[in-house]
A and B are shown apart, each in its own frame.
Chain A
Amino acid sequence: MSLYAVEVEDLHLRIKGVEILRGVTLRVRRNTLFVLMGPSGSGKSTFLRTLNRLIDFVDGVELSGLVKVLGQDIYSVDPYDLRRRVVLVSQEPNPFPHMTIYDNVALPARLNKIVRTKRELDDLVRWALEKVMLWEEVKDRLKSYPHALSGGQRQRLCLARALAAKPEILLLDEPTANIDPVNTIKIEESLKSLRDEVTVIMVTHMPHQAVRVADHVALLHSGVIVEEGPAMEVFMSPKKEVTNEFLRGAL
């Protein structure tokens, strides 16, 4: 089994002729909380969507280079199977409005046939909601619909839904960008508690958030990895001026 959850070598990606990623090379160790930082428009979300091939749904994508996830080239495996193992949580909360809170969390288990009995499903739903610290807030209204929840609760519901898929890698695209500080802290606490169970790759444009949660960080700027390394090392003594500027909020 590969030591790395993700290995990317010289990844170039163009969308309708515009080069978004320009030779990204990166490795992410298993069971770490990896934060990919970078200013808006640097290609972070595109990179994340490449890892589980959600980028395939975008028109006009041209890609070259090697992307290995969990030891396998992503273009040699079934994309649906890949996405079951590498689950993405988007920036904007997207719980399915026609499903109850319970059904939203239970959906991936039903899709992927992870559980066999109703009891196992109940336990999984509870486990996932507890992991994101939402159980106490919704345990009496599991049959209500997500539009009754606040934005932060909806995002935590999406995180719970992703966890219920029992992924090997969890991709988070700025998961706290649109939510309040209290919910942000709850999500960050949940992520820290997940380290031993799943590899987390999170994208953020907020250096402070990276400081709070990351084991390992990389800075993506204009489609290129500028610097990477253990979080404390990069934050305490950045080697590149661009990193310094980003951490100071000057980018």
Chain B
Amino acid sequence: MFFSKSDKLLFYSTLPLIVGVLGILLILSYMILSQSWPSFQRFGFAVLTTSAWSPSDDPQREFYGLAAPIASSLYVSILSVLVSLPISICLTLTLIEILPKYLGAPLRYVTEVMGGLPTVIYGLWGSTTLAPFLRDQVMKPLHDYLGFIPLFSCRPLTGHSMLAASITLAVATTPYVTALLIEGYYLIPSKYKEGAYSLGATDYEAYKIMMGILKPYVIAASLLGFSRALSETTIVALTVGNSMKLSLCLFDPAYTIPSLIANQFESARLYEYALPTLFAGALTLLLISLAASYAGIRLVYGWRERIHV
């Protein structure tokens, strides 16, 4: 197995790190599962399929259901990806292909820096600036004129809503998704672009071919962006309105799992089943997030093998 002593040394010195990473994931999963277990024992799977948050000093009268925050988490995250993905695709093409290098390169750094900003900054901007703006300029007109459509049927109040959370999340995740797409675009061997141009393709046709090659990577980046949006806490806690409500209407406030945990964690310690229920939410989040990330990473690996044939 080993060609030399140094190979062997390298393998055994990195082994604890590999085991450590897997170990942390297993310990985390076990901890969350064991902490959430009392909630599953008490409510069964109803904790995931019903909507309620009724704490009580008498454990027999406590009742919790996470369907609304789970659904809102998915709704807000999917919406944010739907907003950020087309912007990220356009940004990728613009930064790499359309802008001259002396403009594209510095703007790429700016995009990367924006991806590293503390999320609380986006959250504060979303809460104090974007939400009121959306309420007055977008939500109210949409409700007034298109209120018969279920998505716009509820009257906007403070502006803090699933729409505000989705758009703030989209703004925050766009640099991340763009960075992924730029990385993917550069991974495409130049022989394909040369192939397109040598057949007489125009710039537009060549970009279209390159984006076609990138498509599986775009899906993977969306899944990773979705996973990131799903687990985002601060931004959502500051913009989503924090209300235990199951609604399709974009202007309604809601709770996502991370915002529910952030808002209720301290008080949940006072009740027997509230904290285990928050852990049940965290477990659901972990499973969805792991599944999305795993699917995204598998897609990227398969894609890399295909393009490097």
Question: Does A165 belong to the interface (CB within 8 Å)?
Answer: yes
Contact check, A92 vs B198: say whether CB atoms are below 8 A apart. Answer: no
Interface centre among B200, B212, B215, B306 (most CB of A within 10 A): B200
Chain B interface secondary structure, helix, strand, loop or mixed? Answer: helix
Question: Does B18 belong to the interface (CB within 8 Å)?
Answer: no
Question: Does A83 belong to the interface (CB within 8 Å)?
Answer: yes
Contact check, A97 vs B198: say whether CB atoms are below 8 A apart. Answer: no
Contact check, B213 vs A87: say whether CB atoms are below 8 A apart. Answer: no
Contact check, A54 vs B198: say whether CB atoms are below 8 A apart. Answer: yes
CB-CB nearest in chain A for B306 = A97
Contact check, A83 vs B195: say whether CB atoms are below 8 A apart. Answer: no
Question: Does B201 belong to the interface (CB within 8 Å)?
Answer: yes
With both chains docked as a complex, state the minimum distance between the C-beta of A172 and any C-beta of chain B, in angstroms: 11
The verdict on A57 contacting B197 (CB below 8 Å), with A90-B191, A96-B192, A97-B307 known, is yes
Q: List A78-113 residues whose CB lies under 8 Å from chain B.
A: 80-81, 83-85, 87-90, 92, 94-99, 107-108, 111-112
Question: Does B94 belong to the interface (CB within 8 Å)?
Answer: no
Contact check, B198 vs A90: say whether CB atoms are below 8 A apart. Answer: yes
Contact check, B191 vs A147: say whether CB atoms are below 8 A apart. Answer: no
Question: Does B21 belong to the interface (CB within 8 Å)?
Answer: no
Question: Does A162 belong to the interface (CB within 8 Å)?
Answer: yes
Residue numbers in A under 8 Å from B215 (CB-CB): 98
Contact check, B309 vs A154: say whether CB atoms are below 8 A apart. Answer: yes
- Please classify how large the interface on chain B is, using the bins under 10, 10 to 19, 20 to 34, 35 or more: 20 to 34
CB-CB nearest in chain A for B188 = A97
Q: How many A-B residue pairs have CB under 8 A?
A: 72
Contact check, B309 vs A147: say whether CB atoms are below 8 A apart. Answer: yes
CB-CB nearest in chain B for A165 = B199
Q: List A44-85 residues whose CB lies under 8 Å from chain B.
A: 52, 54, 57, 80-81, 83-85
CB-CB nearest in chain A for B305 = A147
With both chains docked as a complex, state the minimum distance between the C-beta of A74 and any C-beta of chain B, in angstroms: 14
Q: List A105-144 residues whose CB lies under 8 Å from chain B.
A: 107-108, 111-112
Contact check, A111 vs B205: say whether CB atoms are below 8 A apart. Answer: yes
Contact check, A112 vs B198: say whether CB atoms are below 8 A apart. Answer: no
With both chains docked as a complex, state the minimum distance between the C-beta of B307 and any C-beta of chain A, in angstroms: 5
Contact check, A108 vs B200: say whether CB atoms are below 8 A apart. Answer: yes
The verdict on A80 contacting B201 (CB below 8 Å), with A96-B212, A98-B213, A98-B215 known, is yes
Contact check, A83 vs B199: say whether CB atoms are below 8 A apart. Answer: yes
Contact check, B198 vs A88: say whether CB atoms are below 8 A apart. Answer: yes
With both chains docked as a complex, state the minimum distance between the C-beta of B202 and any C-beta of chain A, in angstroms: 5
Question: Does A161 belong to the interface (CB within 8 Å)?
Answer: yes
Residue numbers in A under 8 Å from B197 (CB-CB): 54, 57, 83
Interface centre among B192, B197, B199, B307 (most CB of A within 10 A): B199
The verdict on A94 contacting B200 (CB below 8 Å), with A147-B306, A154-B309 known, is no
For A108, give its contact among B189, B199, B306, B307 (CB under 8 Å).
B199
Residue numbers in A under 8 Å from B200 (CB-CB): 80-81, 83-85, 87, 108, 111-112, 165
Assembly CA distance A84 to B200 (angstroms):
4
Q: List B5-46 residues whose CB lies under 8 Å from chain A.
A: none
- Please give me the 10 A-B residue pairs with the lowest Cβ-Cβ distance, nearest first: A84-B200, A88-B198, A94-B195, A94-B191, A83-B200, A147-B309, A97-B306, A108-B199, A98-B212, A147-B306
A57-B197, A87-B199, A97-B309 known; 5 new pairs, CB 8 Å cut-off, are A90-B198, A94-B189, A98-B215, A111-B200, A147-B309
